[in-house]
């Protein structure tokens, strides 16, 4: 392993040398990591409750409202509890997350008037048609959209790279049958299949991931195949054969790193495309069903309520910022992978 | 010639490329035409001819590289490879035998910029044959690696540099070290200096002939540059259009060529002196 650490160290150095991509990477990966502990920052469940001498941690555990002397159906409302405890002033307290509203609860009994409510001091991005907090939904939606897109991209890249490299390396009948299969897959109208499948079973998160991956790998396999056809005609492949390497080793160690540069340049656009395709599926109503917070159905709500500008503006800006960060990262990543391009790049700047 | 044992015997080697276009009859292009050649062990044999005469095809046929990725090529005839205890026909060898043969017959390609993977460091490149052909521990590999770098005059480079960070001559030296690291008995040098500066050419040629005598290699030196071949080889084969038109000891061929094509080829030598 020591052999390779230096190699990746150098790549990281190149990556870091471009500030825009590096900063975007830190922002996006930081946001993504934090999004897994999002209920600590944004959510309706209290972090800590002290009630009659006992401590409770509702972030991790569900408590019925009766536990704390409230009489609602279902889970306790900690924002109300906080107010009650404050007025009683007998040593009980509630510590809420920084932003004390969840993505899936409606606030109809807390805010006056009909939803959607415009932005206010408490709900800084306002609420949507059913009275859910938009700010919380945007952030929870980020986690879902981004995880979804990463998973789909990963699976479809793995399938596409394996398929394309075998096809391009072995050629002959493997390539011929493989290519016909790819053509069949490409000619299937994805959206209709999705509509049909979505009407048969209600698609959940993982079901959608699988379906988009199954229909998403062909383009990548074509790219990889083309690269393999081109690269395997070069002398270094023959010289790897004479150096005694097995086919598998030649594919993975010799050709793949050289074939991957254009595929990697493709990567940010695929991530972006997958985020957008989830958004558009949600928008059409075939995506992740509500009340799961998704940018797609937030945007479609925004479209239905054009007078309530906050409904469309915030999820769209979130989408915009995320996509832009990904593209910036992709640019730096490509630069780090392809230092040959370095010369022409710096030349262009001067 | 006769007293030495042959290490390679090529008998009636035919190589044909076909164009496989749909709706047209296959056209064949004959790259090697009924070629027969005996190569004695320990000799430096030079193969000369103009571009397209089939020199490189011959080189690749000897290591069975023609039909790996190309399905439109037909190879027939025998290439017998003699080792101490047995004979194998390279054209009929199975995968396992082929790996043994490829260890014994190594080839260095013309342009080191394309024959070294741009994404691998010199260390990875030279370690590869060491790991594939010998059972060595990591420590032994890195020890051998520095030995080979030293032997090829690369002692002063950073082993972790990529081919693009090396000069043309250094790259070709890496390619030489990589080929020799397999400890072959036959080394095929396919136009190894034609992509290099004239100033570096002499260096590489000296290195090759030093290593040849040091490891007692059979050298098959392919070039279109006659003065280079004259310097390095004991025996010369002149090829034209896939056939051998003339062969003989270097002095005979250069001083007293018989064939018209050879005469024409010799008259085209530019006057360049190589340090030797």
What tens digit of pLDDT does each residue of A77-106 get?
A: 888 888 888 888 777 888 888 888 888 787
Which pLDDT score, from 0 to 100, does residue A343 have? Answer: 42
Rounded Cα distance between B69 and A77, Å, is: 69
Which chain B residues are closer than 8 Å to A254 by Cβ?
117, 120
Cα–chain center distance at A245: 38
Query: DSSP letters of B166-230?
Result: S-HHHHHHHHHHHHHTT--SEEEEESTTTTS-HHHHHHHHHHHHHHHHHHT-EEEEEES-HHHHH
Which chain A residues are closer than 8 Å to B121 by Cβ?
7
Lowest mean pLDDT among A178-182, A297-301, B5-9, B66-70: B66-70
- Residues A169-181 pLDDT 10s: 988 888 999 999 9
Q: Provide the pLDDT confidence category of residue A69 given band limits of 50, 70 and 90.
A: confident
A146 CB neighbour count, 10 Å cutoff = 20
- Residues A149-170 pLDDT 10s: 999 999 999 999 999 999 999 8
Instruction: Find the CB nearest A239 among B103, B109, B123.
Output: B109
Whether residue B134 lies within 8 A of chain A, CB to CB, comes out as no
Which chain B residues are closer than 8 Å to A338 by Cβ?
none
Rounded percentage of chain A residues whose pLDDT exceeds 90: 22
Distance from CA of A239 to the nearest CA of B (A): 6
Whether residue A186 lies within 8 A of chain B, CB to CB, comes out as no
Residues 6+ apart with CB under 8 A from B269: B226, B227
Lowest mean pLDDT among A97-111, A148-162, B209-223, B261-275: B261-275
Instruction: Find the CB nearest A236 among B117, B127, B129.
Output: B117
Residue A347 has pLDDT above 50, yes or no: no
Structure token pair of residue A74: 């279902």
Sheet (strand B6-19) strand order: B27-40, B6-19, B73-82, B87-89
CB contact under 8 A, B117 and A241: no
* B42-65+95-267 CATH fold: Rossmann fold (3.40.50)
Which pLDDT score, from 0 to 100, does residue A155 have? Answer: 95
Which pLDDT score, from 0 to 100, does residue B210 have? Answer: 92
Which ipTM score applies to this complex?
Answer: 0.88
Which pLDDT score, from 0 to 100, does residue B67 have? Answer: 81
Q: Rounded to two decimals, what is the model's pTM?
A: 0.81
Q: Provide the pLDDT confidence category of residue A5 given band limits of 50, 70 and 90.
A: low
| Average of per-residue pLDDT values in chain A | 84
Closest CA to B107 of A212, A237, A45, A2: A237
B156/B2: higher pLDDT: B156
Closest CA to A82 of A50, A111, A123, A127: A50
Which pLDDT score, from 0 to 100, does residue A344 have? Answer: 40
- Residues B17-53 pLDDT 10s: 887 666 677 778 888 888 999 999 989 999 998 888 8
Which pLDDT score, from 0 to 100, does residue A12 have? Answer: 85
Which pLDDT score, from 0 to 100, does residue B20 have? Answer: 66
Residue B194 has pLDDT above 90, yes or no: no
Instruction: Find the CB nearest B65 among A7, A171, A241.
Output: A241
Rounded percentage of chain B residues whose pLDDT exceeds 90: 37
Rounded Cα distance between A267 and A269, Å, is: 5
Give the chain A residue whose CA is nearest to the CA of B62: A242
Question: What backbone torsions phi and psi does residue A47 show, to the nearest 5 degrees?
Answer: -75, -50
Torsion over CA: A240, A243, A245, A249 (sign):
negative
Which pLDDT score, from 0 to 100, does residue A67 have? Answer: 79
CB contact under 8 A, A7 and B63: no
Which chain B residues are closer than 8 Å to A6 by Cβ?
160
- Residues A22-59 pLDDT 10s: 999 999 999 999 988 888 888 888 888 888 878 888 88
Please state, in angstroms and as integers, the Cα–Cα distance from residue B242 to each residue in A173, B57, B248, B258, following that order: 31, 9, 18, 19
Rounded Cα distance between A347 and A73, Å, is: 68
Residues 6+ apart with CB under 8 A from B87: B80, B81
Element spanning B62, H or E: helix B55-62
Q: Where are the alpha helices (DSSP H) in chain A?
A: 2-17, 19-35, 38-41, 78-88, 134-170, 172-187, 190-200, 205-214, 218-231, 235-242, 247-249, 256-284, 295-304, 309-337, 340-349
Residue A346 has pLDDT above 70, yes or no: no
CB contact under 8 A, B117 and A240: yes
Tell me the mean pLDDT in the region A274-282. Answer: 85
Q: Provide the pLDDT confidence category of residue B10 given band limits of 50, 70 and 90.
A: very high
CB contact under 8 A, B115 and A236: yes
CB contact under 8 A, B182 and A244: yes
Q: Provide the pLDDT confidence category of residue A185 given band limits of 50, 70 and 90.
A: very high
Lowest mean pLDDT among A129-138, A291-300, A331-340: A331-340
Q: Provide the pLDDT confidence category of residue A339 given band limits of 50, 70 and 90.
A: low
Structure token pair of residue A71: 């009489």
Query: Residue A18 gets which letter from DSSP?
Result: S
ω before A116 within 30° of 0 (cis)?
yes
Residue A218 has pLDDT above 70, yes or no: yes
- Residues B73-122 pLDDT 10s: 888 898 999 888 888 888 888 888 888 899 999 999 988 888 998 888 89
Structure token pair of residue A230: 């081109």
Which pLDDT score, from 0 to 100, does residue A1 have? Answer: 40
CB contact under 8 A, B132 and A243: yes
Rounded Cα distance between A279 and B145, Å, is: 54
Structure token pair of residue B268: 């085209």
* A2-37+136-349 CATH fold: MetI-like fold (1.10.3720)
Q: Provide the pLDDT confidence category of residue B273 given band limits of 50, 70 and 90.
A: low
Instruction: Find the CB nearest B117 among A3, A244, A254.
Output: A254
Whether residue B20 lies within 8 A of chain A, CB to CB, comes out as no
Distance from CA of B73 to the nearest CA of A (A): 13
Tell me the mean pLDDT in the region B130-146. Answer: 90
Which pLDDT score, from 0 to 100, does residue A29 have? Answer: 92
A317/A340: higher pLDDT: A317
Which pLDDT score, from 0 to 100, does residue B272 have? Answer: 59
Beta pairing partners, A95: A48
Which pLDDT score, from 0 to 100, does residue B275 have? Answer: 65
The domain segmentation of chain A, as residue ranges, is 2-37+136-349, 44-96
Q: Provide the pLDDT confidence category of residue B173 given band limits of 50, 70 and 90.
A: very high
Closest CA to A251 of B123, B163, B117: B117
Closest CA to B124 of B170, B174, B74: B174
B191/A69: higher pLDDT: B191
């Amino acid at each position: 392993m020591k052999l390779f650490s230096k190699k990746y160290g150098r790549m990281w150095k190149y990556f870091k040398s471009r500030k825009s991509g590096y900063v975007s990477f830190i922002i996006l990966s930081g946001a993504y990591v934090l999004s897994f502990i999002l209920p600590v920052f944004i959510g309706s469940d209290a972090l800590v409750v002290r009630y009659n001498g006992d401590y409770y941690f509702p972030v991790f555990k569900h408590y019925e409202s009766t536990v704390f002397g409230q009489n609602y159906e279902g889970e306790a409302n900690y924002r109300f509890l906080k107010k009650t405890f404050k007025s009683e002033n007998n040593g009980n307290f509630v510590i809420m997350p920084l932003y004390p509203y969840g993505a899936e609860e409606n606030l109809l009994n807390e805010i006056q008037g009909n939803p959607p409510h415009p932005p206010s001091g408490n709900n800084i991005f306002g609420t949507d048609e059913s009275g859910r907090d938009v700010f919380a939904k945007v952030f929870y939606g980020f986690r879902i959209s981004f995880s979804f897109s990463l998973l789909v991209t990963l699976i479809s890249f793995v399938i596409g790279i394996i398929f394309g490299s075998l096809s391009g390396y072995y050629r002959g009948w493997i390539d011929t049958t493989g290519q016909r299969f790819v053509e069949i897959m490409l000619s299937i109208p994805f959206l209709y299949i999705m509509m049909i499948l979505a009407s048969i079973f209600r698609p959940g998160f993982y079901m959608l991931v699988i379906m988009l991956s199954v229909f998403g790998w062909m383009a990548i396999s074509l790219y990889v195949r083309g690269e393999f056809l081109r690269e395997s005609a070069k002398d270094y492949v023959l010289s790897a054969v004479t150096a005694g390497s097995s086919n598998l080793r030649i594919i993975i160690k010799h050709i793949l790193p050289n074939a991957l540069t254009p595929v990697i340049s493709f990567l940010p656009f695929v991530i972006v495309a997958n985020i957008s395709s989830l958004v558009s599926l949600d928008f059409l109503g075939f995506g992740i069903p509500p009340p799961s917070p998704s940018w797609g159905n937030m945007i479609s709500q925004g479209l239905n309520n054009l007078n309530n500008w906050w409904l469309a503006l915030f999820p769209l800006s979130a989408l915009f910022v995320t996509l832009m960060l990904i593209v910036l990262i992709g640019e730096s990543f490509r630069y780090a992978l392809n230092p040959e391009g370095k010369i022409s790049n710096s030349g262009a700047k001067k | 010639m006769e007293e030495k044992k042959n290490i390679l015997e090529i008998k009636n080697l035919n190589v044909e490329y076909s164009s496989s276009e749909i709706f047209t009859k296959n056209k064949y292009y004959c790259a090697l035409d009924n070629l027969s050649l005996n190569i004695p062990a320990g000799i430096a044999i030079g193969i000369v001819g103009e571009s397209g005469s089939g020199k490189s095809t011959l080189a690749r046929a000897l290591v069975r590289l023609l039909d790996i990725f190309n399905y439109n090529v037909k190879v027939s005839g025998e290439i017998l490879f003699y080792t101490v205890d047995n004979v194998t026909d390279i054209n009929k060898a199975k995968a396992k035998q082929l790996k043994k043969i490829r260890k014994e017959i190594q080839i260095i390609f013309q342009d080191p910029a394309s024959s070294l993977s741009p994404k691998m460091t010199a260390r990875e490149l030279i370690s590869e044959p060491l790991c594939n052909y010998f059972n060595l521990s990591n420590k032994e590999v890195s020890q051998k690696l520095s030995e080979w770098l030293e032997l090829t005059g690369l002692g002063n480079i950073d082993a972790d540099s990529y081919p693009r960070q090396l000069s043309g001559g250094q790259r070709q030296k890496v390619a030489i070290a990589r080929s020799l690291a397999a400890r072959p008995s036959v080394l095929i040098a396919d136009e190894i200096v034609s992509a290099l500066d004239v100033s570096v050419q002499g260096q590489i040629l000296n290195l090759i002939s030093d290593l040849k005598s040091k490891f007692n290699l059979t050298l098959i030196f392919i070039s279109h540059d006659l003065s280079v071949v004259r310097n390095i080889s004991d025996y010369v084969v002149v090829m034209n259009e896939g056939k051998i038109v003339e062969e003989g000891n270097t002095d005979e061929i250069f001083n007293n060529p018989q064939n018209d094509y050879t005469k024409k080829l010799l008259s085209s030598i530019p006057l360049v002196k190589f340090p030797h």
